[in-house]
Every structure is written in C-alpha cells, then in structure tokens.
Amino acid sequence: MLRTTASRVLDDNDRDEVLALLDTDPVGNVFVAARVRSVGLNPARLGGQMWGFGPRGGLTSLCYAGANLVPVNAGPDAIHAFADRARKQGRRCSSIVGPAEAVQLLWERLEPYWGPARAIRWAQPVMIATGPSPVPADPLVRRVRPDEFDIMLPACVAMFTEEVGVSPEVGDGGALYRSRVAELIRIGRSYARIENGRVVFKAEIGAVTPLACQVQGVWVHPEMRGRGHAVAGMAAVVKYALDCFAPIVSLYVNDYNAPARAAYRKAGFTEVGTFTSVLF
C-alpha cells in the first residue's frame, strides 16, 4: 500500500472526520475544534486553511494554518509534511502553538526559513478543572456588560501586552483586538470584578465546544495582586464555565509564572499536558 507523505487542504466534505479526530483530545484541541464547529472548513470562513495528513477516510493528523499554526495529533511524518507546506507557503501566522513535542519538531524544521522567533515559551503546562473549585468563588465576579467595554479594554490591552510582550494595538491600531474583546463580551464569555470603574480581576472563555472550554486572558490589576483575587476569581469563572459551557475547563500557563500556577492549583486545576508557543 502506498503511504501518503504529503499534506492536503481540507474542506467541508472532511468536517465529520476532522471533528472525530479533534474530539480524541478535547482539551488539547479545544481551540481548533471550536473554530471548526463554529464555521466549518471553508478557508474564507475559517480564516485560514486546515491541512490534513492521510487520505480521506484515513486522516491521522491535522494542522490549522490561520493566525496561529496549530498541529493536531501530529507525529514526525505529519510534521515533516506540514513543515514542507508551511515553508513553501511562507509565514502567515503570528505564532505556532500546541503540544510541546509536535511544536518543537515543527519549529526545528521551520526555523531555518522563518527564524528567528521573537520569543519561545518552551513549557506551558495545560491545566484542567472538572468540578467546582475547593475554595469560595468571588461573588463580585460576573459577566461583563456591553456598556462596560471601555472599562474592560484597557485591562485587556494591559494583560495582552504583559503576556505576549507586544501591544495588541500594534499593526492595525488594535481594531481586530477591540473587535474580539467586544465579541466575547457580547456573547457572555467575558467575566470580571469591577470596582469603581476599575477592573480588579478578569478572564475570558475564549474557546468552547460541547466537550471542553478554554479560559484565557486571566489578569489581576497590578495594585491588587497578592490578595487572593486570582484564586477566588478563577473559582467563580470555573463555576460559570461548568454551569454554562462545558464539563471540562482548561487553560495553559507559562511554566515560569509560579504565582499563576499556584493560584490555578488552589482553584482546583491540575496539570495534564504541556504546550509550546513560538511567537513572531
């Protein structure tokens, strides 16, 4: 039997098979699965391409190639095929992110052509919570209202800049980022403790499938850190997420961020895997 050694661009005819593969790891694949469930595989709607490795009916691996490059269930042969396509296409993404082993192998093959990276987060523990937090939830953490966008945006920009190392307002003046912040508020997936017009704690649920959801953008105002807001705030977000969205609440965090990892553990999260992110 001939073995497929090249990747191919998938379309909506592959949707069921793609979702079946994504659902084998609902936590690790939550971002990509949420995109596919929401808009399908047509590149115009997906905001990129989905590459497949393996014949129709026998897909073994995927790679989402949009604003991020995200390998899915990709072993060495698939990584080689995806790297070859990515190299020929040229870099169009702002990051490579996903399971550590796959991302590191993909970057090893792409670095001679795409490097250097602006930053590499080699070890980002993936954490999950599947039940209520063992600590009391902050009763003041709630869904953000659309009329509070102007209060939330500076906190979101500060979080992004602190986490990624560049402002989201660079490039298009922040239009795309503002649109995403507004969208998460509009669909009820932005949560915060707001006091006197100032955000004390915030987090968003950025990706949702029937099997899992992913918390992102966790931030405590610098003047309010060290007072337990992250732990109690995350306990509240976990409760909202379990009640409203999915039976598994996930996130990933930089390994060197000891305070955040400790806060998540206190809020009931456990580590189940490791991501790597290559940032451009």
Length of the chain as a residue count: 280
Distance CA 156, CA 175 (A): 13
Distance CA 66, CA 122 (A): 21
Q: Quick count: other Cβ atoms within 10 Å of Cβ 205?
A: 24
The whole-number pLDDT of residue 11 equals 96
Distance CA 201, CA 220 (A): 4
The whole-number pLDDT of residue 4 equals 52
The whole-number pLDDT of residue 3 equals 47
pTM check: above 0.75? yes
Residues 6+ apart with CB under 8 A from 2: none
C-alpha separations of 258 from 187, 220, 255 in Å = 31, 15, 7
Annotation: CATH topology of 129-274: Aminopeptidase (3.40.630)
Distance CA 72, CA 95 (A): 15
- In this structure, the dihedral spanned by the alpha carbons of residues 135, 140, 142 and 144, taken in order and rounded to 10 degrees, is -140
The edge-to-edge listing of strands for the beta sheet with 249-252 is 7-9, 49-53, 61-65, 68-72, 95-99, 270-279, 119-129, 249-252, 213-220, 198-208, 190-195, 142-143
Distance CA 61, CA 18 (A): 9
Residues 6+ apart with CB under 8 A from 154: 199
Nearest to 72 by CA among 51, 88, 91: 51
The whole-number pLDDT of residue 170 equals 84
DSSP H helical ranges for the chain = 15-22, 30-39, 43-46, 76-89, 100-114, 149-164, 175-186, 229-244, 258-266
Nearest to 81 by CA among 115, 112, 110: 110
The pLDDT averaged over each successive group of 10 residues in the chain (280 residues) is: 72 97 98 97 95 94 97 97 96 96 98 94 98 97 98 97 89 89 97 97 98 98 96 98 98 96 98 97
Distance CA 264, CA 231 (A): 7
